[in-house]
Chain A
Amino acid sequence: MAMPHFEHHQPTSLEEALDILTRHGAEAKLMGGGTDLVMKMRAGALEPRHVVSLGRVAGLNRISYRDDDGLVIGGSTRISEVAAHPEVRRHYPALAHACSVMATPQIRNMGTVAGNLANAAPSADTAAPLLAYRASVVLVERGGRRQVKLTDFFKGPGLTDLEPGEILEAIRVPAPPNRCGSAYQRLSERSQVDIAAVGVAGFVALDLAGAIIGARLALSAVAPTPVRCPEAEALLEGQLPTPELLRRASVACVRASRPIDDLRASANYRRSMVQVLSLRVLEQCLALAKGESTPRV
Chain B
Amino acid sequence: MAKQNIDLSVNGFTYRVAVEPWRSLAEVLREELGLTGTKVGCNQGDCGACTVLIDGRAVSSCLTLAVEAHQRQITTIEGLATSPDHLHPLQRAFIDHGAVQCGFCTAGMILSAKALLDQNPEPSEEEIRQGIAGNLCRCTGYVKIVEAISAAAQTLRGAREER
Binding site for B on A (CB under 8 A): 3-8, 10, 34-35, 38-39, 41-42, 51, 53, 55, 80, 103-107, 109-110, 191-193
Contacts and interface: CB of A to CB of B under 8 A. Distances in A.
Q: Which of B20, B43, B68 has the most CB of A within 10 A?
A: B68
A271 to B, nearest CB: 28
Nearest to A107: B45
Given A10-B67, A42-B43, A193 B134 contact: yes
B134 A106 contact: yes
Interface residues of B, number: 29
Given A42-B43, A192-B133, A110 B22 contact: no
Contact of A107 (B22, B60, B65, B67): B60
Given A5-B22, A7-B21, A8-B21, A106 B65 contact: no
Contacts of B63: 34-35, 38-39, 107, 110
A54 B67 CA distance: 13
Given A35-B45, A104-B133, A105-B131, A8 B57 contact: no
Given A39-B45, A106-B51, A7 B1 contact: yes
Interface of B: 1, 4, 20-24, 43-46, 48, 51, 57-60, 63-65, 67-68, 70, 112, 115, 130-131, 133-134
Contact of A106 (B4, B24, B59): B59
Contacts of B4: 8
A106 B67 contact: no
Given A104-B48, A106-B51, A192-B134, 18 more contacts: A6-B21, A7-B1, A7-B21, A8-B65, A10-B70, A38-B24, A41-B22, A42-B44, A55-B68, A105-B133, A106-B48, A106-B60, A106-B112, A106-B134, A107-B45, A107-B60, A110-B59, A192-B133
Contacts of B43: 42
A52 to B, nearest CB: 12
B112 A51 contact: no
A53 B64 CA distance: 12
B46 A34 contact: no
Q: Which of A5, A106, A193 has the most CB of B within 10 A?
A: A106
Contacts of B65: 8, 34, 38, 51, 53
Nearest to B119: A84
Contacts of B134: 103-107, 192-193
Q: Which of A7, A53, A109, A192 has the most CB of B within 10 A?
A: A109
Contacts of B64: 34, 38, 110
Given A35-B45, A42-B44, A109-B58, A4 B22 contact: yes
Q: Which of B63, B70, B115, B130 has the most CB of A within 10 A?
A: B63
A76 to B, nearest CB: 12
Nearest to B55: A109
23 contacts: A3-B22, A4-B22, A5-B1, A5-B20, A6-B1, A6-B22, A8-B4, A8-B22, A10-B70, A35-B63, A39-B45, A55-B68, A80-B57, A105-B130, A105-B131, A106-B45, A106-B58, A107-B60, A109-B57, A110-B63, A110-B64, A192-B134, A193-B133
B68 A34 contact: yes
A78 B82 CA distance: 32
Contacts of A5: 1, 20, 22
Contacts of B70: 10
Contacts of A41: 22
Nearest to A41: B22
A237 B48 CA distance: 45
Contacts of B44: 39, 42
Q: Which 6 residue pairs of A and B lie closest in terms of their CB atoms, listed nearest first?
A: A104-B134, A8-B21, A192-B133, A3-B22, A109-B57, A106-B60
Contacts of B57: 80, 109
A51 B134 CA distance: 27
A53 B57 CA distance: 19
Nearest to B72: A55
B102 to A, nearest CB: 20
A6 B65 CA distance: 12
Nearest to B56: A109
